[in-house]
Amino acid sequence: MNLPTSIEITEVGPRDGLQNQSSVIPTDTKIAYVDALSKTGLQRIEVSSFVNPKWVPQLADADAVFSGIVRFENVKYTALVPNKRGLDRAMDVGVDEIGLMTSASESFSSHNVNATIADSIERMKPLVESAIASGVGVRGYVSCIVACPYEGEIDAGQVRNIVEQLLDIGVEDISLGETIGVVVPTDIARIYDALDGVLSPEQSVLHLHDTRGTALACVLFAMQLGVRRFDASSGGLGGCPYAPGAAGNLATEDLVYFAERMGIDTGVDLEQLVSATRIIEASVGSSLCGRTYSASSCQDPSS
Amino acid sequence: MNLPTSIEITEVGPRDGLQNQSSVIPTDTKIAYVDALSKTGLQRIEVSSFVNPKWVPQLADADAVFSGIVRFENVKYTALVPNKRGLDRAMDVGVDEIGLMTSASESFSSHNVNATIADSIERMKPLVESAIASGVGVRGYVSCIVACPYEGEIDAGQVRNIVEQLLDIGVEDISLGETIGVVVPTDIARIYDALDGVLSPEQSVLHLHDTRGTALACVLFAMQLGVRRFDASSGGLGGCPYAPGAAGNLATEDLVYFAERMGIDTGVDLEQLVSATRIIEASVGSSLCGRTYSASSCQDPSS
């Protein structure tokens, strides 16, 4: 079946997940959530975003969360950074890596980061230079790799074009985001075909939404192509406030269960992960939709 | 990717789905649901079960439902039959095909059909003969092909053993049921390996639950092996009252979406399918968990 022996998961629940909650979660709860995630064996956690609190009030306490969490030696703690001000804040609290956002869709870029794609990449240049000079890692995020909620289908050539521009400015670690959850394995095939010679499956990170139940089928196919790194959100927390219909990230529990049962090492303890998710579910005020997570609290469906 | 050009779906919502509802649905609603399903392009609908109403009161009106529905020419209307009495009732209303249940797990068999596996197959013999003599189709269902809620993991050799016995008594159409939703693609590989020379992927039907979000990944892998026929339940309705943790069949909408976007013809109109599911969701009194179905009513996740 050509499966890998291990995969690496970036947990994006504390940022991507909480950003999309209507309620603001208390800082202490976020800290407890991240600390619990740190104990699961996850290698990377996207803790928050140093965006202007005016735009994302849910993550206004990024500095306090970073200062409050216990930093585990084997875990990388990352955060999104939209500009110089954000980078300074991120540096002050000692993030291990910054994430920079752009999109394969012009319309999504204007709605999401309020800039053309070209401008969003231009803005990244000095941030990438500063981060690298300070020994801080950089990951580039490309959203809407398959379709955009405003434009519809996105050409894979456009994804290649954006990836080339990111590589040109020194961003070598690139996460490909299927933002609205329409993806099927043939889309994955099409995109990696278009990226041939530019970004290999091994080099890339895949960020999927499970809006239509298709995420793990795409993970399977992507793993067979050579992809080894995936983003996921505990409990399936999140979605995208700017992407109508995007009803949840691929749930970390589902990915861990899926991989481990196939003999693929994730390093993650599923039971501890479920416990971490329970902390945040209690606070968001609605049931999370991750399948494995939901099954863990359902012992008798007939009752 | 070695994908088929088309697949055939058996809609099991009216039987497998409704059997697991705590509430009893009015007969008229069931009839309206089946009639709406008939208009979607589905080729096969499992309408009900002619089991003793004492055991499954939810389906006590099997005769009335069959008599009330409009029979479309291109749709096969099937029902489960546990014994001679059930077969007579099914014949009286003119079912196109009967379904006979056994299991790859001894414990599940005693809990579910109150018989050893050997006895359950012995009981089938005269039913198979009568049905075939009357020109009625027969499908055999083997549950717990991967694991059992009482016994844990099931050996694939046992699945092969049961399938051989079904073939021996003249059941040539066999649906392999992963009852509790633990399945991953390596399980599918293991089972079809064990069935080599006995039952080919092309001959088999696959019945999956999406309890851990793994169903479509298994469908992908199974299609690549040659499987062309799948059971699914509209909206993800159902589960199994005797299988703790089995929180829902593979949703038909998810399967249709997945296949059609990959260019695989299902013959099913997704919009009409969603409309049919709405009829039954309104009556069961709780939200259905099919992903594509849920996404169809969620236009703005941020609201």
Q: Decide if A278 is inside a domain.
A: yes
In chain B, residues with a C-beta closer than 8 Å to the C-beta of A298 are 245, 247
Q: Decide if B156 is inside a domain.
A: yes
Contacts of A135 (CB under 8 A, 6+ apart): none
Instruction: Report the gap between the CA of B201 and the closest CA in chain A (Å).
Output: 17
Q: Decide if A303 is inside a domain.
A: no
Overall domain count for chain A: 1
**What is the pLDDT averaged over residues B231-235?**
96
Quick check: A298 pLDDT over 90?
Answer: no
Q: Decide if B1 is inside a domain.
A: no
> Which range of residues forms the domain containing residue B100?
8-296
Quick check: B285 pLDDT over 80?
Answer: no
**What is the pLDDT averaged over residues B116-135?**
96
**What is the pLDDT averaged over residues A79-93?**
97
Quick check: B245 pLDDT over 50?
Answer: no
Per-residue confidence at B301, pLDDT binned at 50, 70, 90? very low
Rounded to 5°, the CA angle B242-B248-B253 comes to: 150
Report pLDDT for A296. 81
Report pLDDT for B137. 97
Nearest to B35 by CA among B8, B11, B19: B11
Three-class DSSP category at B128: helix
Q: Whole-angstrom Cα distance, residue A64 to residue A72?
A: 17
Strand partners, B80: B49, B99
In this prediction the ipTM stands at 0.94
Report pLDDT for A72. 98
Q: Whole-angstrom Cα distance, residue B36 to residue B70?
A: 10
**What is the pLDDT averaged over residues B209-233?**
97
What tokens does B107 get? 């414990």
Q: Whole-angstrom Cα distance, residue B125 to residue B170?
A: 8
Q: Whole-angstrom Cα distance, residue B17 to residue B237?
A: 5
Lowest mean pLDDT among B14-18, B48-52, B221-225, B295-299: B295-299
Three-class DSSP category at B232: strand
Residues B62/B49, Cβ–Cβ less than 8 Å:
yes
Nearest to A291 by CA among B221, B17, B237, B245: B245
Lowest mean pLDDT among B91-105, B128-142, B288-302: B288-302
Report pLDDT for A138. 98
Q: Decide if B92 is inside a domain.
A: yes
Quick check: A300 pLDDT over 70?
Answer: no
Per-residue confidence at B247, pLDDT binned at 50, 70, 90? low
Q: Decide if B95 is inside a domain.
A: yes
Q: Whole-angstrom Cα distance, residue A250 to residue B132?
A: 46
Residues B221/B258, Cβ–Cβ less than 8 Å:
no
Phi, psi of A251 (to 5 degrees): -75, 130
**Per-residue pLDDT tens digits for A269-279:** 999 999 999 99
Q: Which residue has the higher pLDDT, B241 or B138?
A: B138
Residues A233/A252, Cβ–Cβ less than 8 Å:
yes
The continuous run of DSSP H or E covering B294 comes out as helix B291-296
**What is the pLDDT averaged over residues A273-300?**
83
In chain A, residues with a C-beta closer than 8 Å to the C-beta of B214 are 216, 254, 257-258
**Per-residue pLDDT tens digits for B140-189:** 999 999 999 899 999 999 999 999 999 999 999 999 999 989 999 999 99
- Residue A46 is given by DSSP the state E
Report pLDDT for B302. 34
Asked if A55 reaches chain B (Cβ–Cβ under 8 Å), the answer is: no
Instruction: Report the gap between the CA of A143 and the closest CA in chain B (Å).
Output: 17
Average pLDDT, chain B: 93
- Could you give the percent of chain B with pLDDT greater than 70? 95
pTM of the predicted model as reported, rounded to 2 decimal places = 0.95
**What is the pLDDT averaged over residues A210-220?**
96
Residues A175/A139, Cβ–Cβ less than 8 Å:
yes
Q: Do B217 and A213 touch (CB under 8 A)?
A: no
Look up the CATH number of the domain holding residue A265. 3.20.20.70
**Per-residue pLDDT tens digits for A157-182:** 999 999 999 999 999 999 999 998 99
Q: Whole-angstrom Cα distance, residue B141 to residue B130?
A: 18
Judging by DSSP bridges, how do beta strands B76-80 and A8-11 pair with one another? unpaired
Per-residue confidence at A244, pLDDT binned at 50, 70, 90? very low
Q: Whole-angstrom Cα distance, residue A126 to residue A132?
A: 10
Q: Whole-angstrom Cα distance, residue A297 to residue A299?
A: 6
Q: Which residues of A28-39 are buried (b: 16+ CB within 10 A; e: fewer)?
A: ebbbbbbbbbbe
**Per-residue pLDDT tens digits for A107-133:** 999 988 889 999 999 999 999 999 999
Report pLDDT for A239. 59
Residues B218/B211, Cβ–Cβ less than 8 Å:
no
Find the closest chain A residue to B217 by CA distance: A217
Rounded to 5°, the CA angle B69-B70-B72 comes to: 130
B240 part of the active site: yes
Report B:121-140 residues touching A (Cβ under 8 A). Answer: none
Q: Whole-angstrom Cα distance, residue B44 to residue B33?
A: 14
Residue ranges in chain A assigned as alpha helix (H): 18-19, 27-38, 62-68, 84-92, 106-113, 117-133, 156-168, 185-194, 215-225, 252-261, 270-284, 291-296
Q: Decide if A302 is inside a domain.
A: no
In chain A, residues with a C-beta closer than 8 Å to the C-beta of B219 are 217
Find the closest chain B residue to A185 by CA distance: B262
Three-class DSSP category at A58: helix
Dihedral over alpha carbons B120, B125, B129, B134 (to 10 degrees): -10
Q: Whole-angstrom Cα distance, residue A177 to residue B228?
A: 31
Report pLDDT for B298. 56
Find the closest chain A residue to B188 by CA distance: A262
Per-residue confidence at B239, pLDDT binned at 50, 70, 90? low
Quick check: A240 pLDDT over 60?
Answer: no
Q: Decide if B236 is inside a domain.
A: yes
Q: Do A301 and B258 touch (CB under 8 A)?
A: no
Q: Whole-angstrom Cα distance, residue B254 to residue B250?
A: 7
Q: Whole-angstrom Cα distance, residue A16 to residue A243?
A: 13
Q: Which of A187, A213, A257 is nearest residue B254 as measured by Cβ atoms?
A: A213
Report pLDDT for B246. 46
Strand partners, B223: none
Q: Which amino acid is at A128?
A: V
Quick check: B300 pLDDT over 60?
Answer: no
Contacts of B271 (CB under 8 A, 6+ apart): none
Instruction: Report the gap between the CA of A137 and the closest CA in chain B (Å).
Output: 31
**What is the pLDDT averaged over residues A24-37?**
97
Chain centroid offset of residue A250 CA:
9
Q: Whole-angstrom Cα distance, residue A81 to residue B243?
A: 47
